[in-house]
């Protein structure tokens, strides 16, 4: 064996390692997404809902519910494919 030591090049600074940035990117992205979520939640709150019916809302009374329960099976099963005007 040769007792001489082999000179190694100096190590690169920490910011030159690509894998380090990959490890840092995950938590930074999570924090950024959390901040964006808070900004959206604070800036656009949900509207309050009162107990009164809205002007354009469809109201189903007991008679309508009973009538829909008596629909033929094929019509009731495929109601999602029909336009809303025919319901």
What's the total number of domains in the chain? 1
63 in any annotated domain: yes
87 in any annotated domain: no
Q: Which domain holds residue 38?
A: 14-77
CA distances (Å), origin 13, targets 6, 10, 16: 21, 9, 6
Task: Give dist(CA 61, CA 52) in Å, integer.
Answer: 15
Q: Has residue 56 got a pLDDT over 50?
A: yes
Contact 43/37 with Cβ under 8 angstroms? no
Tell me the average pLDDT across 35-46.
Answer: 94
8 in any annotated domain: no
62 in any annotated domain: yes
Query: Which distant-in-sequence residues (6+ apart) come within 8 Å of 20 by Cβ?
Result: 14
pLDDT tens-place string over residues 8-36: 888 889 888 989 999 999 999 999 999 99
33 in any annotated domain: yes
Task: Give dist(CA 43, CA 40) in Å, integer.
Answer: 5
5 in any annotated domain: no
Instruction: Read off the tokens for 72.
Output: 């033929």
6 in any annotated domain: no
Give 74's pLDDT tier (boundaries 50, 70, 90). low
């Amino acid at each position: 064996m040769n007792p001489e030591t082999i000179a190694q090049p100096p190590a690169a600074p920490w910011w030159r390692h690509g894998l380090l940035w990959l490890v840092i990117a995950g938590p930074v992205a999570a924090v950024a997404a959390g901040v964006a979520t808070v900004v959206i939640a604070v800036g656009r709150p949900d509207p309050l809902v009162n107990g009164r019916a809205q002007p354009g809302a469809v109201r189903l009374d007991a008679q309508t519910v009973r009538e829909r329960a008596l629909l033929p099976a094929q019509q009731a099963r495929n109601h999602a494919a029909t336009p809303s005007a025919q319901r």
